[in-house]
Amino acid sequence: MPQVLLAIADGSEDIETVTLIDVLRRADIAVSVASVTTDVTVTLARGTRLVADKCLTAVDPDSEFDAIVLPGGMPGAERLRDSEALSALLKRQRQREGWIAAICAAPGVVLAAHDLVRGHMVTGFPAFQAALTDAGGHLSQHPVVEDGRLVTSQGPATAMGFALHLVGLLVDEATERRIAEGLLVVGRESDLQRH
């Protein structure tokens, strides 16, 4: 069973956070939702209250995840960026060539700040795209972009396609198609850019 760490904070984007948890769990992916704060209960950007599985400080720094996934939202992305524990996990994930995935503000605010986009084709929320190119990323306007072991996406409206693509990478494409059909999602193939 694939293991995913989904890091959240007060101010993470509601649609992205809940969509990622829901879709990945539909694929029987073990999603560990971890709050970067000292409290497992967070208030998302639009006021949704969510109880994480644990605080990030309770995650063993030597844990191996198939993917570390970051929702966007402000100021949630800034809180993810400022978490030393998350920064260390992301750098270790890059070193071991595990998947890193981020959507909306997270690519520009978190990944760019930790030098994780350099040389990669990436996308993100329009207001944070300049940070991607400033950090050495190559900007794409596709809703979901996969390059190497990095997957990025643009925002709330692309969260479903982003989550489904992660299912395809972490489980298989047949499971991705099955879940997409069950959710009545059609015609996503043109949304993906792969490098």
Catalytic, out of 69, 104, 112, 166: 104
b/e sequence 99-132, b meaning 16+ C-beta within 10 Å: bbbbbbbbbbbbbbbbebbeebbbbbbeebbebb
Contacts of 150 (CB under 8 A, 6+ apart): 99, 100, 101, 111, 116, 117, 120, 122
Q: Which residues pair with 68 in a beta bridge?
A: 5, 100
Q: How many Å apart are CA 116 and CA 101, to the nearest integer?
A: 11
Q: Is 104 an active-site residue?
A: yes
The pair phi, psi for residue 149, each rounded to 5°, is -105, 30
CA-angle at 162, arms to 159 and 166, nearest 5°: 135
- As given in the structure block, the two tokens for residue 180 are 């997409």
Q: What is the DSSP letter of 41?
A: E
Residues with catalytic function? 104
